[in-house]
Structure formats: C-alpha cells, structure tokens
Structure 1
Amino acid sequence: MELARQLKAKREERGLSQDEVSKAIFVSRQTISNWENDKTYPDVQSLLLLSQLFEISIDELVRGDVVAMQQAIAEDALRMKLLSIGMLAFSGLAFLFLLVFSLAWPEPSGFARMSKGNLAGAATFIVLYAIGFAMAIAVDRLKKKHDVVTYREIDRFLKSGVVGEPDAEGLARKHPALGVVVKLFAGAAIGLLLAGLLLTLEG
C-alpha cells in the first residue's frame, strides 16, 4: 500500500520519531511501525489525526490505495457473503436435526433422561454446528487479513465526508476474538434452551 511509504516519508520530512507521532495521535509506537511496514492500516479516526499532523488531506494520503481497497472489498465481499450464508445454513440444519431426531426417535437410551433421538440429534448438532462455526471463524479471519472493515469505513468517508459511528464491525476489528466468542456462546445458549425444551416436552 502507498500509505505505508507516505507515512514514513511525511514523518521523516518533519524530523519526527515514531514515538512522537504515536503520542500526537494517541496510539502506540508499535501501531505506527505496523502502519509504516504495511502490516495494518489506520482507521478513519487515525487518518484524520495523521492528516492534521502532516497538514495533508486524507484523500492525498490514501489516493494511491483507493483502487486496491475497492478491489479488496469487492473480492472479499462475495466470499464473506457465501461463508455467512453457509454458517447460517449449517447452524440452522444443526437445530433442525436436533429437533427431528428428538421427536422421531423417543426410545429411551438409558443415558440420563435422554432418548436415543436426543443422543443422535446432539451428535449431529455438534458436527453441523462445528462446520457453521468454522465458517464464522473464516469470515472473521478474512476480515482481519485484508482489513476489510477499515477499507469500507475509509471508502465510505471518501465518498460522503462523514465519519461513521463505531459499530459492531468496528468492534469486531478492534477485538477480533470477541465476535467469535459471542457467536459461540449465542449458539450454545440457543442449543441448550432447545435441548431443555425437548426434554421438558418428552418428560
């Protein structure tokens, strides 16, 4: 990305160290180093502060990267959409098979209060839900790999001139593990509620 070269050049023109720049825009020195080495990309708020510090517009800072960002958004959008659909489909099938097996095979299994249908449904649920969960992780990794959320925010800002409010995607970018954990516990909670309901109905 062109921005990495631009940031280093602008900083050196003003005789600033990475530490001085980091303090001026309220990020860590390592963050500045990551930007200058093209490991990560600054969000819109950071770009605003950088543009003020270096007295240059955001458009000039990212001009050379706009096409690459738009290509990354377009290429990743379809893959993320397909993975998201797959995640929802497998998660839905997991709950469906749990319900169908439990209702269609009520014969006692001898294990706790669970029927053979409960056990078969639970086994199927685990396999299908694991596939769906793997797809959710793949989406999060794809976002992180190409910094898609940041690119979208920048593209939106360049077109509208408005800095968007922090949203779920922005939170997921700053805390990538959080999205995965939330999905895991949400799915597990729904599964437990459904299993409890089935046991209650059969009892």
Structure 2
Amino acid sequence: MELARQLRAKREERGLSQDEVSKAIFVSRQTISNWENDKTYPDVQSLLLLSQLFEVSIDALVRGDVVAMQRAIAEDSRKMRLLSIGMLVFSGLAFLFLLGFSIAWPEPSGFARMSKGNLAGAATFIVLYAIGFAMAIGVDRLKKKHDVVTYREIDRFLKGEVAPEPDTEGLARKHPALGVLVKLFAGASIGLLLAGLLLALEG
C-alpha cells in the first residue's frame, strides 16, 4: 500500500519519531510501526488525526490505495456475508435444539438432575454452536487479512457518506477496556438467559 511509504516519508520530513507520532494521535508506537510496514491500515479516525498532524488531506494520503481497497472490499465482503449468515443460522439452531430436546424429552437422566432432553440438547448445542463460532472466527480472520471493515469505512468517507469528527482527546483510544466490558456483559447476559430457560423447563 502507498500509505505506508507516505507515512514514513512525512514523519521523517518533520523529524518526528514513531513514538512522537503515536502520542500525538493516541495510539501505540507499535501501531505506527505496523502502518509504516504495511502490516495494518489506519482507520478513518486515525487518518483524520494523521492528516491534521502532517497538514495534508486524507484523500492525498490514501489516493494510491483506493483501487486496492475497493478490490479487497469486493472480494471479501461476499465471503464475510455468507459466513455471518451461517454463524447466525447455526447459533439459532443451537438454541432451538437445546430448547426443543429439553421440552420433548423430559425423562430424568439420573445425571445432575438433568433430563435426557437436557443432555441431548446440550450435546447438540455444543456441536452447532461450535460450527457457528468457527464461522465467526472465519469472519474475523477475513477482516484482519485485508482490513476490509477499515477499507469500507474509508471508501464511504471518501465518497462523502460519513463524516466523523476526530477524537482530539483520544478518549476511545485511552479506554479500550470499555469494548471488552461490553462484550463480557453481552456474553454474561446470554449465559444467564440460558440458565433461566433451563431452570424454568426443569421447574
């Protein structure tokens, strides 16, 4: 990608170190290194801050990469969409089979106060959910392979479809744990819902 060469050149023109650039736009020095070595691609928020730091337009920074980004979007978006649909289908089937077996087969199994339906449903749930989880991993790998989500966001920005404001305080970058907490809360909520459904069925 052309951006990697440009970032290094513009940083060196201004006599800045990778560490100084990283502090100016609220990312790690390793992130700057990854960008300059074409390992990852900055998102729109980062490009906004970089354009301000280097006093150049985003369009000028990414102009040489637009065709490659659009090609990556076209090639990977369809695969990601199919995998995402498959993930939702298998995850939904996992819950349906868990509930279905639990309702249809209430005969006690003699194992931890669980019915035979509970055991059969749990076994089916694990298999189907594992398939859905594998598809989710596939989507994540595709995202990272070509930074497709980032490319799509940049493409929309260049077309004037989105106009985010730069995070000049770097709040989102300084508190990445917030995203982790949201995911943990969502996972815990699903677990509690499942446990409640099973207890209701056994009752």
Scaled to the shorter chain, the TM-score interval is: 0.7 to 0.9
* Structure 1 residue ranges (4+ consecutive) displaced by more than 6 angstroms after TM superposition: 165-185
Q: Which has the larger displacement, 192-201 or 164-173?
A: 164-173
Which stretches in structure 2 are left out of the alignment for 5+ residues?
none
| CA spacing shift, 1:28–1:91, aligned 2, 3 Å | closer
| CA spacing shift, 1:26–1:107, aligned 2, 3 Å | closer
8 A Cα contact 2:18 2:29, kept in partner: yes
8 A Cα contact 1:149 1:173, kept in partner: no
| CA spacing shift, 1:99–1:80, aligned 2, 3 Å | same
8 A Cα contact 1:144 1:173, kept in partner: no
SS in 2 for 1:110: strand
TM-score, normalised with respect to structure 1: 0.81
SS in 1 for 2:109: strand
SS in 1 for 2:169: helix
RMSD of Structure 2 on Structure 1 (CA): 4.0
Residues in 2 aligned to 1:179 and 1:81: alpha-carbon distance in whole angstroms: 23
1:75, CA displacement in angstroms?
A: 1.5
Whether 1:5 and 2:5 are equivalent positions in the alignment is yes
SS in 1 for 2:32: helix
| CA spacing shift, 1:122–1:181, aligned 2, 3 Å | farther
Q: Which has the larger displacement, 165-174 or 46-55?
A: 165-174
| CA spacing shift, 1:168–1:28, aligned 2, 3 Å | closer
Q: Which has the larger displacement, 139-148 or 64-73?
A: 139-148
Which stretches in structure 1 are left out of the alignment for 5+ residues?
none
8 A Cα contact 1:172 1:179, kept in partner: no
8 A Cα contact 1:113 1:199, kept in partner: no
| CA spacing shift, 1:166–1:186, aligned 2, 3 Å | farther
8 A Cα contact 2:72 2:146, kept in partner: yes
1:202, CA displacement in angstroms?
A: 4.4
Q: Which has the larger displacement, 82-91 or 158-167?
A: 158-167
SS in 2 for 1:21: helix
| CA spacing shift, 1:56–1:168, aligned 2, 3 Å | closer
> 1:129 matched to which residue of 2?
129
CA-to-partner distance for each residue in 1:32-63, whole Å, 9 max, x for gaps?
21111011111222222222332321111100
8 A Cα contact 1:95 1:125, kept in partner: yes
Q: Which has the larger displacement, 43-52 or 179-188?
A: 179-188
8 A Cα contact 1:153 1:164, kept in partner: no
Aligned length: 203
> 1:71 matched to which residue of 2?
71
| Higher relative contact order, chain-length normalized (CA < 8 Å, sep 6+) | 2
8 A Cα contact 2:86 2:135, kept in partner: yes
Q: Which has the larger displacement, 99-108 or 9-18?
A: 9-18
1:141, CA displacement in angstroms?
A: 2.5
1:19, CA displacement in angstroms?
A: 2.9
8 A Cα contact 1:44 1:154, kept in partner: yes
CA-to-partner distance for each residue in 1:114-144, whole Å, 9 max, x for gaps?
1111111111111111111221222222212
Residues in 2 aligned to 1:169 and 1:79: alpha-carbon distance in whole angstroms: 36
Q: Which has the larger displacement, 90-99 or 191-200?
A: 191-200
8 A Cα contact 2:26 2:173, kept in partner: no
